[in-house]
Chains A and B, each alone.
Chain A
Amino acid sequence: MAYPAKYRYTKQHEWADISGDVATIGITDYAQHELGDVVFAELPKVGAKVESGKSFGTVESVKAVSEIYSPVSGEVTEINGVLHDTPEKINSDPHGEAWLIKVRLANPAETKGLMDAAAYEAFIAAADKGKEVSA
């Protein structure tokens, strides 16, 4: 699955689509693949504050619980209601329909610290390579 060029990425495998002062946040295709069958997403409420690098929720697969770390700081303006009944969309469309939350940016400058798509792809390629070498 291609990593959209306009998104920005974290080393914990979240993406942020920044448009004006709002960031839409989700987990990457790499992340959903690592997790396996997603069965549950626990998200903050609208109005909650999230902080860059801090956990704001969890995504659970059958076998694992994964904390989701926010790429940005700000206030949650929307959560994706679709995931309440169909969390498996995180597996099928992680970069699109299965976004998790929208955040009004408190500090737009901090998005400069995120990776672009090319850097993220290089990062996960290195991570995969590390697995093979050590195995």
Chain B
Amino acid sequence: MESVNTPTVSELRKTSLNAVHRRLGAKMVNFGGWDMPVEYPSNGGLVAEHKAVRGAVGVFDVSHMGDIRVRTGKSTGGALAAVQHLSMNDASKLAVAQAHYSALLCPKGTFVDDVIVHRLTEDDFLLVINAGTREKDVSWVRENTKGFDCVVEDLSDSFTQLAIQGPRAIDVMRKLTDASLDRIKNYWFTHGAVCGLTDILIARTGYTGEDGFEIYVPSDPATSEKVWARVMEAGREFGIVPCGLGARNTLRLEAKMALYGHEISDTINVWEAGLDRYCKMEKGDFIGRAALERSKATGLTRTLVGLEMIDRGIARDEYCCCNEAGEAVGVITSGSPSPTLGKNIALAYVPPAMAATGTTIYVAIRGNKHKAQVVPTPFYRRPKTVSAPQVVKTA
């Protein structure tokens, strides 16, 4: 076999928890220029990590993610105006302590990056961005906010970001903070004490399709390692495991969450990616809006669908999709075995005429056509939380 891991090079960037991952025996890979854990074989590896998050709880070091703060300069409203101009969702609808999924668009209506926008105060926003697009995003934001009354700060190196994900994440967090977690709804956040540190951003967000929290602690190694150790210790009784990028990918794929460079990129537009509900055309002008208006009038040539393999075989990123005659019709953007479903699933761009549920699509795998079919997405949806059964007291 060929070596799976690209050899790591000294120029790779490291999070403050790099030594912890190596001590845990993680398999490390180069991810967008970062030396990151892909899985922890000593804890059972990718599938065990995936199942821990679906069934209990897992913790991910996602400190490679970047953070851009946009706050108002002199007069109120400057930051909001800048964020509205830069991003496709309607940030004016965000309450303080609320977050939403959004994206920075190119003038063509394609993606600079997808982001989570947090409204810290009326005049202060935090944009959480992807690792691989950090520098590009920061210059994009600086460049495109020049006419606005706002201050842009790159805080990417300031935080160690931990994602604690799974149905038991809340039980772990309860042991680590005095913040009232029950009051933080999905995509809301608070600031509170965590592991003895004050004023820590605690957000009910994630990239796994499960309930969970993301916490942003100071990035110095001593603090980062202390918090990691406390999370692991608090989570032990709930079966917490450290999780790598491998499980992060299979979890987000099952939940049909987009990955930059795969489902979205600077050559794919919002409508093609099916992210319409995060794009608020009626909010006023923003970068990319005009092109999206034209695109809507022209109609789509491709659209993102979910596929399930029928034949034996695993569709992988960049494999070609074809019709029965073997003519190329599209491309797989992400494909993998699904540990939760026990099936081989994929996301693919295909012509709209082939997007209906049940449509047969073939995937070219090493020169052979393998049958797949279009299925509804997301592939996995977490069960609705059921409140604890009432104890009926009898007289």
Please report A residues at the B interface, Cβ cutoff 8 Å. Answer: 12-14, 27, 31, 33-37, 39-40, 42, 58-69, 127, 130-131, 134-135
Contact = CB atoms under 8 A, between A and B. Distances in A.
A130 B366 contact: no
Interface of B: 1-5, 7-10, 12, 22, 27-28, 35, 38-39, 41, 45-47, 246, 249-250, 312-314, 316, 336-337, 339, 366
A120 to B, nearest CB: 14
A39 B344 CA distance: 10
B7 A67 contact: no
A134 B10 contact: yes
- Which 10 A-B residue pairings sit nearest by Cβ, starting from the closest? A66-B1, A135-B8, A37-B47, A31-B1, A39-B337, A63-B246, A64-B4, A34-B4, A13-B1, A62-B46
B46 A34 contact: no
Given A12-B2, A13-B1, A131-B5, 10 more contacts: A34-B5, A40-B312, A40-B313, A42-B366, A62-B337, A62-B339, A63-B250, A65-B314, A66-B1, A135-B10
A56 to B, nearest CB: 12
B250 A134 contact: no
A131 B250 contact: no
A58 B4 CA distance: 13
Contacts of B313: 40, 42
A106 B311 CA distance: 34
B2 A63 contact: no
Contacts of B337: 39-40, 62
A36 B43 CA distance: 12
Contacts of B27: 34, 36
Residue among B1, B5, B27, B313 with the highest chain A CB neighbour number at 10 A: B1
Contacts of B10: 134-135
Given A39-B337, A40-B314, A62-B337, A69 B45 contact: no
Given A134-B7, A135-B35, A66 B2 contact: yes
B36 to A, nearest CB: 12
B1 A35 contact: yes
Given A36-B39, A36-B46, A40-B312, A62 B4 contact: no
A36 B45 contact: yes
Contacts of B4: 34-36, 61, 64, 66
Contacts of B366: 42, 58
Contacts of B314: 39-40, 60, 65
Contacts of A61: 4, 46
26 contacts: A13-B1, A14-B1, A27-B1, A31-B1, A35-B1, A36-B39, A36-B46, A36-B246, A59-B1, A61-B4, A62-B47, A62-B246, A62-B250, A62-B336, A62-B337, A62-B339, A63-B39, A63-B246, A63-B336, A65-B314, A66-B1, A68-B1, A69-B1, A131-B7, A135-B12, A135-B28
Residue among B4, B7, B27, B313 with the highest chain A CB neighbour number at 10 A: B4
Residue among A33, A65, A66 with the highest chain B CB neighbour number at 10 A: A65
B8 A134 contact: yes
Contacts of B9: 134
Contacts of A39: 314, 337
Residue among A31, A40, A62, A67 with the highest chain B CB neighbour number at 10 A: A62
